[in-house]
Amino acid sequence: MKGDVLWTPLLTELNRWRDAGKTVTFWLRDDDAIVPTAALDQLLDVTGRYRIPVTLAVIPAGTGAALADRLKEVSHAAVAVHGWAHINHAAEGRKKQELGGPARQPETVLAELADGYALLADLFGNRFTPLLVPPWNRIDAGLLSSLGEIGFAALSVYGAEKPAPIRMVNTHVDVMDWHGTRGGRDHGALVGETVARLKHVFAHGGTVGILTHHLVHDQTVWDFLETLFAVTAHHPACRWASVTDILAEG
């Protein structure tokens, strides 16, 4: 609930922003969309009720008209390119990666990304945004300078933004416990990470990017999102923006 003591640090930090006359920008990225599902319906419902823009990182090789039709009436959803097929090409024992690495030629990867860009731009029209979201948040650094030639305006991975030859719009708080329960993370820990990011942005600028994966959410995740949106959606120091608006604002 909004008044829960777990959420007091977030409210306190947002009030500090308010008192300083500052506004922080939050944005939401959700990965692995392919086709309409009940989980996607739930995500679109909760974000719609709180008027939270959501960027769906869509896997081009697996998607099609069904998802495009589902999103036609969803004004608060944007679509980004989530690699090509979300297939791991890394050697056994190495971290999963689709975009680059010793096993892949740059020309092959860039051709797949160009195909994915064209496919999603055609399918989703004005819902499409020229943002690349690498599967597993990994991409060979040698590919970055070529992404603009395909049409990408920005790249989104996980963690603090680093200097790159393309604009970075990252996510900073991941709701999933990938290395433990593979369910939702402890709400207190998530609030703490959100507050830490807010303090960094207060001093250095940037956004607060929340990362979700609707297909694997448990009730812990849905409860966290519901409360996060309730706390932030109408706070005077908080603004939820679409990635399209963030890119347009420079």
Structure-token match 């990666």, residue found: 97
Quick check: pTM over 0.75?
A: yes
Assigned CATH topology for domain 5-249 = TIM Barrel (3.20.20)
In tens digits, what is the pLDDT along the chain, a chain of 250 residues? 444 899 999 999 999 999 999 999 999 999 999 999 999 999 999 999 999 999 999 999 999 999 999 999 899 999 999 999 999 999 888 999 999 988 899 999 999 999 999 999 999 999 999 999 999 999 999 999 999 999 999 999 999 999 999 999 999 999 999 999 999 999 999 999 999 999 999 999 999 999 999 999 999 999 999 999 999 999 999 999 999 999 999 7
User: DSSP for 174-229?
Assistant: E-B-TTTTSSBPPHHHHHHHHHHHHHHHHHH---EEEEE-GGG--HHHHHHHHHHH
CA 67/CA 49 separation, integer angstroms: 20
Q: What pLDDT was estimated at residue 2?
A: 46
Where do the domains of the chain lie?
5-249
